Amino acid sequence: MKKLLAMGLTLGLFLTASAQETETDSIPNGWKTDGNIQLLFNQSAFNAEWTGGGTSSIAGNLNLNYDFNYKMDDFTWDNKILANYGLTKVKGDDFARKTSDRFELNSVAGKEINNSNFYYSWFLNFRTQFAKGYEFSEDAETGETIRTETTHAFSPAYLQTGPGIMWKKGDDFMVNLAPATARFIFVDKAFTSGPEYMDGDYFGVDAGEGMRFEFGASLTALAAFDIVENVRMENSINLYSNYLDKPGNVDIDYLMNLQMGINEFLSANLLFQAIYDDNAVGAFQIREVFGVGFNYKL
């Protein structure tokens, strides 16, 4: 908990300093929506005479970033949907493989405290994936690729919710600290059954169970700003400490989205994500996606 509070204080000071450089947004009452869809492509090709080495491949990523926010006087309700799905196909490989697969909904409602930038808040975060995930291996006798299903939609799925205190300055700077957060991890019981399964092997869920309950503290923060004209960076981070089991092992989910506009319909995009979840893997999971593609503003 002390680590989480220290991280929250440091991040809050950073966001406050950043926000002080901009004017406070004058947000009118009512609904405000904003978002975009991006289709990114990556491709490489080599002919038979190419001597430098390399394998032809093609990859695509579909990204959705959509905000729908509501304000009425001293009450705000901010919602964000983040979704992405990507595949890559390498020449000679039997299967196309996922490069990204994520659906996330963030929602936080706040009641302003005494005309300040602080709010009483309640937040909800939901995360899962769209399609099946596999581990790949090779048949020792035939050399054929074997894929074993390890995940699918809603297995796992994460739900966090709880009350807290939010600091907010406009739509682009926010920190929410929720010291009494309920967290649920949902999985398919098919993955936790069988004589070979041990408690906690599958995203921390016990043998034969389909859900794990945790209770702890959560910190969520957002910082978005324009670096130069047509180049915008969005940063979001979620920290979670489970009071009931190893509270010192703080789960981290950081996402950076760098959008570089070329024109109204073409853009370059860089995604970087770092996840630490002791229930899944006791190490950082790193994902990076870069591509050029089509952009459609919602």
- Name the residue with tokens 């695509």: 60
For residue 253, the one-letter residue type is D
Residue 262 to residue 109: CA distance in whole angstroms: 35
298 residues of the chain, pLDDT tens digit each: 445 444 544 454 444 444 444 444 567 899 999 999 999 888 888 877 777 777 888 999 999 999 999 999 999 999 999 999 999 999 888 899 998 999 999 999 999 999 889 999 999 999 999 999 999 998 888 888 899 999 999 999 999 999 999 999 888 899 999 999 999 999 999 999 977 788 888 999 999 999 999 999 999 999 999 999 999 999 999 999 999 999 999 999 999 999 998 888 898 889 899 999 988 887 899 988 888 889 888 8
The confidence score (pLDDT) of residue 170 equals 82
* Alpha-helical runs (H) found in the chain: 2-19
Residue 123 to residue 109: CA distance in whole angstroms: 6
- Find out whether 242 and 183 touch, Cβ atoms under 8 Å: yes
- Closest by Cα among 100, 72, 102 to 87: 100
Q: Where are the domains of the chain?
A: 2-120+162-180+217-297
* Whole-prediction pTM: 0.86
The confidence score (pLDDT) of residue 26 equals 65
- Number of C-beta neighbours around residue 151 at 10 A: 20
The confidence score (pLDDT) of residue 245 equals 92
Query: What are 44's two structure tokens?
Result: 């490489």
The confidence score (pLDDT) of residue 201 equals 87
The confidence score (pLDDT) of residue 24 equals 41
The confidence score (pLDDT) of residue 7 equals 52
Question: Which are the contacts of 137, defined by CB distance < 8 A and separation ≥ 6?
Answer: 145, 146, 147, 148
- Closest by Cα among 243, 242, 244, 223 to 232: 223
The confidence score (pLDDT) of residue 70 equals 95
The confidence score (pLDDT) of residue 280 equals 83
Q: How far from 259 is each of 38, 40, 65, 146, 242, CA to CA, in Å?
A: 10, 12, 11, 37, 34
